[in-house]
Amino acid sequence: MIGCNAVSNPTTTKFPTEFSHDPILSDPTNYRRITGSLQYLTLTRPDIAFSINQLSQHMHNLLPQHVYLLKRLLRYIKGTIDYDIPINKSDLALNSFSDANWAGDPNSRKSTLGYCSFLGSTLISWTIKKQHTFARSSTKS
């Protein structure tokens, strides 16, 4: 994938009608190795955390659309290779932000939540995860 074209976002909700076969990434062992390696990259690249989470959920049930999403993520990383978490000297104001979607996963209908905390302009903590229970309203999600 060294010579691939970059894309502007790491994932997509609309898939092509047909998937091209990739003998390397279609191998479940290689898929698991690459996805597992990319999990370490999320320490300094929170922009790919959601995509890695989605890919990790299908390690034992690999379908052509998962290989397509992995290739798309690798193309995104190639185009954003200079992205990282900046650590800057700044004020010590603590700011936190959170958000959740309601039944955002089309397969399980569970909500996804996330938060991030900044000390000045430096990101010090963040998470994104699927909730364990089903929310009956957007307020409860």
The answer to whether the CB of 69 falls within 8 A of the CB of 12 is: yes
**pLDDT, position 135:** 64
Encoding tokens for residue 12? Answer: 């997509």
Domain parsing of the chain, residue ranges: 1-84, 86-141
pLDDT of 112 above 90: no
Rounded CA-CA distance 115/11 in Å is 20
How many Å apart are CA 58 and CA 16, to the nearest integer? 19
pLDDT at residue 141 is higher than 60: no
Contact between 24 and 34 (Cβ < 8 Å): no
- CA 84 – CA 63 distance, rounded (Å): 30
High-pLDDT (> 90) share of the chain, %: 25
- Over residues 19-51, the pLDDT tens digits come to 888 888 888 899 999 999 998 888 778 889 889
- Report which secondary-structure segment, H or E, holds 127: strand 122-130
The answer to whether 55 touches 73, Cβ cutoff 8 Å, is: yes
Between CA 128 and CA 105 the distance in angstroms is: 13
- Residues constituting the chain: 141
* Each residue's pLDDT tens digit, 46-102: 889 889 988 998 888 888 888 999 999 999 999 998 887 777 777 889 999 988 887
Residue carrying the six token digits 């000297």: 89
| H or E segment to which residue 72 belongs | helix 64-79
